[in-house]
Structure 1
Amino acid sequence: MKKLHFSLLFILGFIVAGTAQDKQIPLEEIWNGEFRTEGMDVLRSMNSGTEYTVLNSDRDTKSSMIDKYAYSTLEKLETIVSSADSKEIPYFTSYEFSQDESKILLATEIEPIFRRSTLGVFYLYDVASKEVIKIADSKIQEPTLSPDGAKVAYVQDNNLFVFNLADETTVQVTMDGVKNKIINGVTDWVYEEEFGFVRAFEWNSVGTKIAFIRFDESEVPEFSMDLYGSELYPSRHEFKYPKAGENNAVVSLHLYDVANGKVSMVDLGDAYYIPRIKWMNNANNLSVQILNRHQDLLKFMSVNAVNNKVSLLLEESDKAYVDITDNLTFLADDSFIWSSEKDGYNHLYLYDSKGKLKNQVTKGPWEVTSYYGYDKKTDKIYYQSTENGSINRDVYSIGRSGKSKKRLTEKIGQNYASFSADFTYFINTFSSATTPPVYTLHKAQTGKELKKIKDNQALLEKLEAYAISPKEFSTLAINGNDLNMWMIKPQDFDATKQYPLLMFQYSGPGSQSVANRWMSSNDYWYQMLAAEGYIIACVDGRGTGLKGRDFKKVTQLELGKYEVEDQIAAATALSDLSYIDENRTGIWGWSYGGFMSTNCLLKGNEVFEMAIAVAPVTSWSFYDTIYTERFMKTPAENPSGYDDNSPFNYPELLKGKYLLVHGSGDDNVHVQNSMRMIEALVQANKQFDWAIYPDKNHGIYGGNTRLHLFTKMTNFIKENL
Structure 2
Amino acid sequence: MKKLLLLFLLGSPLCYGQRNFTIQETVFGARQFAPQNLTLTQWIPKEQAFTQLDASYQKLQIRDAANNWQPKDLLTCNELAEAIKTSLHDTTSVKLSYFPTDYQWANENSFNFTYSNAGQNYYLQYDVSSRKATLQAKTPLSATNPELSANRSRVAFLIENNIMIHDGSSTIAVTQDSVDGIVNGSDYTHRQEFGINKGMWWSPDSEKLLYYRKDETMVSQYPLIQWSARVANAKDIRYPMAGMKSEEVTLLVYDCSTKSRTTLKTGEPKEQYLTLCTWDPSGKYVYVGLLNREQNHLKLNKYDASSGELVKTLLEERSSSWVEPLHALHFLPNKNDQFLYQTDKDGFNQLYLYNTEGKLIRSLGHADVIVESLGDFTADGKKISYIGITNNGLDRQLFQVDLGNGKTVQLTHEPGMHQASISTDGTYILDQYSSQTVPNRITIRNTRNDKTNLILAAANPFEGKIKLPKIEQLSLLSADGKTPLNGRIIYPADFDATQKYPVMVYLYGGSHAQLVQNRWLFGAGYFDLYMAQQGYVVFTMDNRGSDARGRDFTRVTHRQLGQAEMADQMKGIEFLKSQPFVDQTRIGLFGWSFGGFMTTSLMVHHPGIFHTAVAGGPVIDWKFYEVMYGERYMDTPQENPDGYKNVSLLDKASQLKGNLLIIHGAQDPVVVQQHSMEFIEACIKAGKQVDYFLYPTHEHNVMGKDRIHMYEKIAQYFDLHLKR
What TM-score results when the alignment is normalised by the length of structure 1? 0.89
Deviation, 1:44, is 4.3
> In 2, distance between residues paired with 1:224 and 1:40?
45
> In 2, distance between residues paired with 1:196 and 1:616?
24
Please list the CA deviations of residues 503-533 of structure 1 after superposition, one character each: whole Å capped at 9, or x if unmatched.
Answer: 1211002432222122499633333333343
Judged with a 3 Å threshold, the aligned counterparts in structure 2 of structure 1 residues 393 and 658 are, in CA distance, closer, same or farther, namely same
Give the structure 2 partner of residue 36 of structure 1.
Answer: 34
Please list the CA deviations of residues 224-247 of structure 1 after superposition, one character each: whole Å capped at 9, or x if unmatched.
Answer: 212223x53445432222221222
Please list the CA deviations of residues 428-470 of structure 1 after superposition, one character each: whole Å capped at 9, or x if unmatched.
Answer: 23112222233333446777543414x431504245x514212
Deviation, 1:378, is 6.8
Judged with a 3 Å threshold, the aligned counterparts in structure 2 of structure 1 residues 523 and 99 are, in CA distance, closer, same or farther, namely closer
> In 2, distance between residues paired with 1:233 and 1:681?
30
Give the structure 2 partner of residue 248 of structure 1.
Answer: 246
Pairing of 1:494-643 with structure 2 (within 5 A): 494-519=496-521, 523-643=525-645
Pairing of 1:118-517 with structure 2 (within 5 A): 121-125=120-124, 127=126, 130=133, 132=135, 135-137=138-140, 139-165=142-168, 168-178=169-179, 180-188=180-188, 190-192=190-192, 194-229=193-228, 231-270=229-268, 272-310=272-310, 311-326=312-327, 328-331=329-332, 332-333=334-335, 334-377=337-380, 379-401=382-404, 403-420=406-423, 423-443=426-446, 449-453=452-456, 455-457=457-459, 459-462=461-464, 465-476=466-477, 478-481=479-482, 482-517=484-519
Give the structure 1 partner of residue 718 of structure 2.
Answer: 717
Question: In structure 2, the residue corresponding to 1:708 is in which secondary structure?
Answer: helix
> In 2, distance between residues paired with 1:199 and 1:551?
29
> In 2, distance between residues paired with 1:621 and 1:90?
52
Deviation, 1:89, is 4.1
Counterpart residue type for residue 173 of structure 1: V
8 Å contact kept, 1:469–1:527:
no
Further displaced range: 625-634 or 579-588: 579-588
- Counterpart pick for 1:78 among 57, 65, 75: 75
8 Å contact kept, 1:616–1:669:
yes
Further displaced range: 542-551 or 607-616: 542-551
Judged with a 3 Å threshold, the aligned counterparts in structure 2 of structure 1 residues 540 and 460 are, in CA distance, closer, same or farther, namely same
Further displaced range: 370-379 or 708-717: 370-379
Corresponding residue pairs, total = 695
Question: In structure 2, the residue corresponding to 1:650 is in which secondary structure?
Answer: helix
Deviation, 1:164, is 1.7
Give the structure 2 partner of residue 108 of structure 1.
Answer: 116
Please list the CA deviations of residues 594-643 of structure 1 after superposition, one character each: whole Å capped at 9, or x if unmatched.
Answer: 10000101101132222110111111122211111111111121122222
Unaligned runs of 5+ in 1: 59-63, 111-119
Please list the CA deviations of residues 355-398 of structure 1 after superposition, one character each: whole Å capped at 9, or x if unmatched.
Answer: 21111112323422222233252722212223333212211122
Counterpart residue type for residue 260 of structure 1: T
Question: In structure 2, the residue corresponding to 1:245 is in which secondary structure?
Answer: coil
8 Å contact kept, 2:278–2:328:
no
Question: In structure 2, the residue corresponding to 1:82 is in which secondary structure?
Answer: helix
Deviation, 1:556, is 0.3
- Counterpart pick for 2:651 among 635, 649, 652: 649
Deviation, 1:405, is 2.7
Give the structure 2 partner of residue 67 of structure 1.
Answer: 60
Q: Is residue 11 of structure 1 aligned with residue 8 of structure 2? A: yes
Give the structure 2 partner of residue 692 of structure 1.
Answer: 694
Counterpart residue type for residue 633 of structure 2: F
8 Å contact kept, 2:508–2:592:
yes
Please list the CA deviations of residues 274-310 of structure 1 after superposition, one character each: whole Å capped at 9, or x if unmatched.
Answer: 1231112122122111211011111111122244332
Q: Is residue 25 of structure 1 aligned with residue 26 of structure 2? A: no
Deviation, 1:273, is 0.9
Give the structure 2 partner of residue 116 of structure 1.
Answer: none
> In 1, distance between residues paired with 2:117 and 2:583?
54
> In 2, distance between residues paired with 1:564 and 1:549?
19
Deviation, 1:660, is 0.8
Counterpart residue type for residue 441 of structure 1: I
8 Å contact kept, 1:190–1:241:
no
Question: In structure 2, the residue corresponding to 1:365 is in which secondary structure?
Answer: coil
> In 1, distance between residues paired with 2:712 and 2:498?
30
Judged with a 3 Å threshold, the aligned counterparts in structure 2 of structure 1 residues 254 and 423 are, in CA distance, closer, same or farther, namely farther
Please list the CA deviations of residues 309-342 of structure 1 after superposition, one character each: whole Å capped at 9, or x if unmatched.
Answer: 3211111222111122226311132311122212
> In 1, distance between residues paired with 2:122 and 2:250?
31
Question: In structure 2, the residue corresponding to 1:562 is in which secondary structure?
Answer: helix
Question: In structure 2, the residue corresponding to 1:430 is in which secondary structure?
Answer: strand
Judged with a 3 Å threshold, the aligned counterparts in structure 2 of structure 1 residues 284 and 534 are, in CA distance, closer, same or farther, namely same
Judged with a 3 Å threshold, the aligned counterparts in structure 2 of structure 1 residues 121 and 656 are, in CA distance, closer, same or farther, namely farther
Counterpart residue type for residue 106 of structure 1: T
Deviation, 1:254, is 1.1
Counterpart residue type for residue 582 of structure 2: I
Counterpart residue type for residue 337 of structure 1: L
Judged with a 3 Å threshold, the aligned counterparts in structure 2 of structure 1 residues 239 and 421 are, in CA distance, closer, same or farther, namely farther
8 Å contact kept, 1:254–1:263:
yes
> In 2, distance between residues paired with 1:222 and 1:275?
25
Question: In structure 1, the residue corresponding to 2:187 is in which secondary structure?
Answer: coil
Question: In structure 1, the residue corresponding to 2:395 is in which secondary structure?
Answer: coil
Judged with a 3 Å threshold, the aligned counterparts in structure 2 of structure 1 residues 223 and 306 are, in CA distance, closer, same or farther, namely same
8 Å contact kept, 2:478–2:568:
no
Residue identity (%): 28
Judged with a 3 Å threshold, the aligned counterparts in structure 2 of structure 1 residues 472 and 145 are, in CA distance, closer, same or farther, namely closer
Give the structure 1 partner of residue 88 of structure 2.
Answer: none
Question: In structure 1, the residue corresponding to 2:463 is in which secondary structure?
Answer: helix
Judged with a 3 Å threshold, the aligned counterparts in structure 2 of structure 1 residues 480 and 402 are, in CA distance, closer, same or farther, namely farther
Give the structure 2 partner of residue 679 of structure 1.
Answer: 681
Counterpart residue type for residue 710 of structure 1: Y
Unaligned runs of 5+ in 2: 86-91
Counterpart residue type for residue 669 of structure 1: V
8 Å contact kept, 1:277–1:289:
yes
8 Å contact kept, 1:49–1:423:
no
> In 1, distance between residues paired with 2:153 and 2:406?
42
> In 1, distance between residues paired with 2:11 and 2:690?
38
